[in-house]
Amino acid sequence: MFKRTLTRSLAGAVVLSAALGLTACSGSGGSGSSAEGGVPTVKLMVGGIDKQIYLPYQLAEQLGFYKKYGVNVVLSTETDGGAGAEDAMASGQVDMAGAWYVHTIDFQVKGKAVEDIVNLSGAPGEREMCTTSSGVHSPADFAGKTVGVTDLGSGTDTLTQFLAAQNNLKTDQYTRIGVGAGATAIAALQNGKTACVMTTQPTVTAIQKKNVGYSAIDLATTAGAQQAMGGLWPSAGVLAQTSWVNGHKEAAQKVVNALVDTMHWIATHSAADIANALPPAFVTKGNVSKDDYIAALAQDKGQFLPDGIMPANGPKTVLATEKLVGVKTDSVNLGTTFTNEFALAANKTEGYTTSTTPADANG
């Protein structure tokens, strides 16, 4: 499933990071090592850092929380979204990936030990946006149509197949193509290349403002995910190779401390507060104004978990998704695909009350 080349991913990361000023100085130390002043440096690539589903990574930087907890996080982004960020992490190009939990299962199936060390959302944050002429109102309507995903093999690809399979559609009864995110996804709808695309805010709002399409299926909220998928579907989180985590526990804990603090900040602040804290380039782009961004975030803000804890039964729901789309998961040990160790410690350190029931070792 990992088809995108790392060269392209990393080149895009450097360009966008420079343009938006995302990266902090990496210091003199290598990844996970102690830089000047004994502060560890961690390289974290995000699968589309300006997407609302991934906003906690940059928000933590803007709020000064990485610095607060003594870690130098070098943020970069995989510009096309999709599978590139976790590929870069798995190959050692970066230490951590801001990506979907489902990929830990995919990696384990392929013999690679990767784990989710802090979970940020209980829903994919996606909506199936369909053209007004498509006639699509449920996944059953995908039959005979072409639907867009960020990239073949990405999390949106898995979700699309899952939704179709739940409605008794086989993969040869519809067509999936990669359309990227943002402008390229919008163009796929505009030029008739696809009937639908699975995408996130703020692209959803841009599609609606342009009258290109409507939201046919809601996977953007926890309520929507539970209705469409039968339970919470943990998605955005920090993925790292288990070997790296075991060798850099202090650095991992510092990153999780910063992100857990960020999740509590999100839970106790308005969408407008969040938008005001982010770089202008994140909240105003193309046809999407800052007011649009705030309205979209207010609508879908409920996807974020307030404490960074992997929710009970969440891994089982994701595993069921994988099974339904044909992934051979018989040998998967869910207990090794995530850990709540760091998030629980982070909440305890700050005296936060946790509201998420943690998943146990069996998912």
CB 232 within 8 A of CB 225: yes
Flag the least confident range among 4-18, 95-109, 164-178. Answer: 4-18
Q: Which class is 6-123+234-350 in CATH?
A: alpha beta
CB 113 within 8 A of CB 104: no
Residues of the chain with CATH 3.40.190.10: 6-123+234-350, 126-219
Q: What integer pLDDT is reported at residue 18 of this predicted model?
A: 37
Alpha carbon separation from 288 to 117, 202, 283 (Å, rounded): 33, 7, 8
> How does pLDDT run across 110-167, given as a tens digit for each residue?
999 999 999 999 999 999 999 999 999 999 999 999 999 999 988 899 899 999 998 9
pTM comes to 0.83
CATH 3.40.190.10 for domain 126-219, yes or no, is yes
Contact status, residue 312 vs residue 93, Cβ threshold 8 Å: no
HSE of 309, CA atoms in CB hemisphere, 13 A: 21
The Cα–Cα gap between 277 and 3 comes to 35
Q: Which amino acid is at 325?
A: V
